[in-house]
Amino acid sequence: MLIASWNINGIKARIDGLTTWLQERSPDIACLQEIKSQDEGFPREAIEALGYHVETHGQKGFNGVALLSRQKPESVTRGLPGDESDEQSRYIEGVWQTGSGPLRVASIYLPNGNPLGTEKFAYKLAWMNRLERHAAGLLEREERVVLAGDYNVIPQPEDVHNPEAWTEDALFQPESRGNLRRLVHLGFADALRLTDDSRQIYTFWDYQAGAWQKNNGIRIDHLLLSPEAQIALRSVGIDKQVRSWEKPSDHVPIIAEIEA
């Protein structure tokens, strides 16, 4: 089965591109981030017409995540546990039953954290700490777990075209990268790096300064797999071509094939 993650950067502006991609790629589960839509305003009809079930955790004008799936999930959790005062819609988690048992998939839109030295960076790190605690609990279930999404973290210098340009950015700080490594140390693995150690593999190109044309990109969209999901992994790819489509998101989908 195919599990994908895509920061769509505004579902209403990208609905045509999304439906085209869904028809071409036909993922079993697609995790969307930054839908920028309240639940009631999400254009679900166009997606449901393609045979997908839609679950959203939206927010007016900002953030927002969604799960699109061929099969309706058995259960859905909205919001990252650990802080009931957090009103930002950045996490949704679903559970599906497959021939190999439970499959748990989360769509994550991790905070950007810029500018440094502000409450935004502190919120980013606190959010990552909560994610780590929740992820540790998920591992105890010994299930196939996929934590998919826009992590807003560049893991290593080889994951950015020009590392020097990002030294003062929250996405490339030692604290951000260290928090991501702690998820790996728990037992999760970066799906792409299980299959490909090449340089210049990116998932985001800014709209400014000809970044796409110059391949001046970064890799910040990740699929983190539990040990049980790692065993079931068959392949990982990045659908880079959609960045050249009309009205593109500045991110592109990353997609993994996992044994059902």
**pLDDT per position as a tens digit, 101-146:** 999 999 999 999 999 999 999 999 999 999 999 999 999 999 999 9
> Residue 195's domain is classified under what CATH number?
3.60.10.10
Tokens of 48: 């449901």
Q: Which of 52, 91, 109, 151 is catalytic?
A: 109
CA dihedral 204, 88, 30, 223 (to 10 degrees): 60
Q: How far is CA 139 from the centre of its chain?
A: 19
Q: What angle do CA 215, 207, 32 make, to 5 degrees?
A: 95
Partnered with residue 65 across adjacent β-strands are 33, 57
Q: Which of 28, 150, 169, 221 is catalytic?
A: 150
Question: What's the alpha-carbon Rg for the chain, to the nearest Å?
Answer: 17
Partnered with residue 190 across adjacent β-strands are 224
Contacts of 131 (CB under 8 A, 6+ apart): 80, 91, 108, 110, 147, 183
Whole domain around residue 83: which residue ranges? Answer: 2-258
* Cis ω for the linkage preceding 155 (within 30 of 0): no
- 150 flagged as catalytic: yes
Residue ranges of the chain with per-residue pLDDT less than 70: none
What pLDDT, on the 0 to 100 scale, is given for residue 16?
98
DSSP code of 66? E
- 91 flagged as catalytic: no
Tokens of 188: 């999760």
DSSP code of 169? S
Count of structural domains within the chain: 1
How much is the pTM? 0.98
DSSP code of 251? B
What pLDDT, on the 0 to 100 scale, is given for residue 190?
98
Q: Are 7 and 34 in contact (CB under 8 A)?
A: yes
The CA distances from residue 24 to 18, 19, 40, 203, in Å, are 10, 9, 27, 19
Q: State the Cα–Cα distance between residues 207 and 249, nearest whole angstrom.
A: 9
Q: Which helix (H) or strand (E) holds 240?
A: none
> What are the two backbone dihedrals, phi and then psi, of residue 146, each rounded to the nearest 5 degrees?
-125, 115
CA atoms within 13 A on the CB side of 163: 10
What pLDDT, on the 0 to 100 scale, is given for residue 260?
86
DSSP code of 194? H
Residue type, 46: A
Q: Is 67 exposed, middle or buried (0-12, 13-18, 19+ CB in 10 A)?
A: buried
Tokens of 246: 């009309």
